[in-house]
Amino acid sequence: MNCDKILYMLEICEIFSSIQGEGFNQGRACVFIRCARCNLRCKFCDTRYSWKKGKTVDEETIVRKIEKFNIKSVIITGGEPLLQDLRRVISLLTNKGYKIAVETNGLTYQNLNVDWLTVSPKKAGTRRFKNGYDERFRKTASEFKYVICDMEDINFIDRKIKVPVILQPVDNELKLAEKIAKEMEKIKIPNWFLRLQLHKLLKIQ
Give the pairing type, strands 9-19 and 55-58.
Answer: antiparallel
pLDDT(164) > 60: yes
CA 46 remoteness from chain centre: 13
> Taking all residues of the chain, what is their mean pLDDT, rounded to a whole number?
94
pLDDT for position 1 = 43
Q: Where are the domains of the chain?
A: 3-143
* Contact by Cβ (8 Å): 34, 52: no
The pTM (predicted TM-score) of the whole model is: 0.94
pLDDT for position 203 = 85
How far apart are the C-alpha atoms of 122 and 112, rounded to whole Å? 21
Give the pairing type, strands 29-35 and 73-77.
Answer: parallel
Percent of the chain with pLDDT over 70: 97
How far apart are the C-alpha atoms of 69 and 63, rounded to whole Å? 11
- Domain 3-143 class, CATH top level: alpha beta
Mean pLDDT within 16-39 = 96
From residue 67, give the alpha-carbon distance in Å to each of 61, 64, 83, 114, 133: 10, 5, 24, 18, 33
